[in-house]
Amino acid sequence: MITVNDLTQIHTPLRYPVLSIGAFDGIHRGHQEIIRFLVNLARQKQGTAIVLTFSPHPQRIITPATAPPLLQLPEQKEKILREMGVDVLVRFPFSREISLLQPERFVTEILFRWDFREIVVGSNFRFGHKRSGDCGTLALISKQRGIPVHAIEPVEFRGVRISSTRVRGLLSEGRVELARRLLARPYQFRGTVVRGAGNGAVLGFPTANLEPQNELTPAVGVYAGRAHLAGIEQPCVINIGFRPTLYERPEGAPVVEAHLLDFNGDLYGTTISIDFCARLRAERRFESLDSLKKQIAKDINLARKYLARGVPERREVGDGTNR
């Protein structure tokens, strides 16, 4: 997959370019339905599957005070799109000027500057100033150029439309297992290992203290997960919280620390990706360090049992209800 800021950066002609446009934050199952349709259509036409997204996220420009935390780092999004078969990713620079374009100007001045042959969007796609354009608007304008527009219906889970907003809400509540169902994979969090207070080693369970790279951290609690480092996957127990047993009056943001099971090595300065697979319990204060150590041992045993069940990393988009 090629990643560019503008298709003019590609100097060779693209064969039958097919476009999908959207924020695609998190690339949840609804997004995956759109991307799969795009890639299959491009393959049928022996063409090029192109995804156009914006950088920064449009809400960072339009309403920065209320813009939500993003579910993915740019490189995490790129990896999934590459795995799904996308040929070109355009990370188009979004600006205040673009946000003020009326729908017709947006299509003619932004999209029609390239010779797209077909366009694929979600049926709830909105664009233009104050989101005044919809899928029907895009189809009407594109029809004048003879460009078909394919509208993909949302994917539902338990009768509710899957959305990035819903995934964010679940993660903020610590409901990582349900978030996994909507993402078709565990939520992945990346961080750099930094030096902590060394409490984990004192307790007999050394941890990697992570300085977050992702914007969204799941709710305070204890989780079972998988750590990815240097091509190795390692089961782990993650604690997000304020360590109330050790600190009576914790301050600042919650600490993210992971205890990698059956691992012995120096991780300082390395980058680790963590898959959040299940929430084991809430964080709580224990009466003594001995009680805390016993609970950590129970957490590790529970995490081992859960992860040994072979929880699937991905689910097919068809595992649910499509509207």
pLDDT in tens, 191-219: 999 987 666 666 668 889 999 999 999 99
Identify whether residues 149 and 203 lie together within a single domain.
no
Structure token digits, residue 135: 């899928």
Torsion of CA 188, 194, 199, 205, to 10 degrees: 50
- The crossing angle, in degrees rounded to 10, of helices 164-172 and 176-183 is 160
Domain termination residue (choose one: 144, 161, 178): 161
**pLDDT over 60 (residue 249):** no
pTM: 0.89
Q: Is residue 180 part of a domain?
A: no
CATH of residue 37's domain is 3.40.50.620
* Helices and strands: H and E segment counts in the chain: 10, 15
Across 145-165, average pLDDT: 96
Across 218-237, average pLDDT: 94
Containing 146, the helix (H) or strand (E) segment is none
Identify whether residues 205 and 126 lie together within a single domain.
no
Q: Which pLDDT score is estimated for 240?
A: 95
Identify whether residues 71 and 11 lie together within a single domain.
yes
Identify whether residues 88 and 150 lie together within a single domain.
yes
Domain termination residue (choose one: 127, 161, 195): 161
Structure token digits, residue 224: 């079972």
> pLDDT (tens digit, 9 = 90+) per residue, 41-79?
999 999 999 999 999 999 999 999 999 999 999 999 999
Angle formed at CA 31 by CA 176 and CA 93, multiple of 5 degrees: 105
Identify whether residues 14 and 157 lie together within a single domain.
yes
Q: Is residue 282 part of a domain?
A: yes
Identify whether residues 150 and 201 lie together within a single domain.
no
Considering only CA atoms, which of 155, 92, 89, 146 is closest in space to residue 123? 155
Identify whether residues 151 and 190 lie together within a single domain.
no
Q: Is residue 118 part of a domain?
A: yes
Q: Which pLDDT score is estimated for 312?
A: 45
Identify whether residues 199 and 147 lie together within a single domain.
no
- Sign of the alpha-carbon dihedral angle for 59, 275, 76, 1: negative
Q: Which pLDDT score is estimated for 290?
A: 87
- Strand runs labelled E in the chain: 2-4, 17-21, 48-55, 88-93, 118-122, 149-152, 155-157, 160-161, 187-194, 208-212, 221-229, 232-241, 255-260, 271-281, 321-322
Task: Supply φ then ψ for residue 308, to 5 degrees.
Answer: -70, -20
Identify whether residues 112 and 195 lie together within a single domain.
no
DSSP character for 261?
A: T
Q: Is residue 304 part of a domain?
A: yes
Least confident of 6-20, 81-95, 237-251, 255-269: 237-251
Identify whether residues 144 and 195 lie together within a single domain.
no
Is the backbone of residue 262 left (phi > 0), alpha (psi -120 to 50) or beta? Answer: left
Which positions ≥6 away from 34 have C-beta within 8 Å? 20, 22, 120, 121, 122, 152
Structure token digits, residue 141: 């304008």
Q: Is residue 80 part of a domain?
A: yes
Range of the domain at 64: 2-161
If one compares 319 and 160, the residue with the highest pLDDT of the two is 160
Count of domains forming the chain: 2
**pLDDT over 50 (residue 315):** no
Q: Which pLDDT score is estimated for 320?
A: 38
Active site residues: 257
Structure token digits, residue 14: 């693209």
Task: Supply φ then ψ for residue 302, to 5 degrees.
Answer: -65, -40
Across 105-122, average pLDDT: 93
Q: Is residue 318 part of a domain?
A: no
CATH of residue 231's domain is 2.40.30.30
Give CA–CA dist 276/237, Å, rounded.
9
Torsion of CA 303, 306, 308, 309, to 10 degrees: 180
State the CB neighbour count (10 A cutoff) for residue 44: 10
Give CA–CA dist 315/88, Å, rounded.
24
**pLDDT over 70 (residue 111):** yes
Q: Is residue 175 part of a domain?
A: no
Q: Is residue 177 part of a domain?
A: no
Identify whether residues 70 and 201 lie together within a single domain.
no
Q: How confident is the model at residue 144 (pLDDT cuts 50, 70, 90)?
A: very high
Q: Which pLDDT score is estimated for 136?
A: 95
- Strands in 155-157's sheet, in edge-to-edge order, are 160-161, 155-157, 321-322
